[in-house]
Amino acid sequence: MNPFMSKSRRMAATLLACLALPLSSNAADPKPAAPALAADEIAQGFRPLFNGVDLTGWRYRNPAGPKSWSAQNGLLVNTPPDGGHGTDLVTEEKFRNFVVRYEYKIPKGANSGFYLRGRHEIQILDDGDATQPSNTSNGSLYSQTAPSVMASRPAGEWQTVEATVTGNRATVLLNGKKILDGASLDRPTGGELDNRVNEPGPFFLQGDHGTVAFRNLRVKPLP
């Protein structure tokens, strides 16, 4: 690529090549595409968190920040401005106990995160060639709990996550492998909306780091 291209533009271009679709809100003709949940998931009580068409049900954490998120071809895409940062995206609805499932894709070198209750970050990171997990690895409960195994796929591939939260514990599967088993949620991981860890909270997607695309975000509330 052009050596003078900015880092954010290089990352967006890399993800563009992986996804074969536009990655900026002003790109030509991004197509709306509503998600279709599998029949078994509907029967289990899952419902979409993202409609595939626009940002209905979501808000920017900082309303004055860059509008870096867009709905494109059924994906929820964050493209930070050149040389700058995007803005975190937060659900309007709050949750206490739940199962949440989502898929994400990042370009090489990217960094993002998916927050449970707005306080506990599941790290999203291109781990490169790392073979030993740490508390900042992809899939970690950021800065607190390392994944038990390295289950990441290479940058540029879709990765799947399932997180079950009950009370102050979280169990997480990454690409079908259990990587966190009853991890404690007794304190925020950093970057949180607030520190009220015993209360319901929203999901939020880290937008102030790098380029990332999500799809098939769905949730099943639990008692």
Rounded Cα distance between 106 and 126, Å, is 7
Domain ranges across the chain: 7-20+30-222
- Mean pLDDT per 10-residue run, the chain (223 residues)? 41 48 45 79 97 97 97 96 92 98 97 98 94 96 98 97 98 98 98 98 96 97 98
Considering the entire predicted model, what is its pTM? 0.88
Question: Residue 31: what pLDDT?
Answer: 63
Give me the pLDDT at residue 142, please. Answer: 98
From CA 221, how far away is CA 102, in angstroms rounded? 15
Alpha-carbon distance of 205 to 220, in angstroms, equals 18
7-20+30-222: CATH class: mainly beta
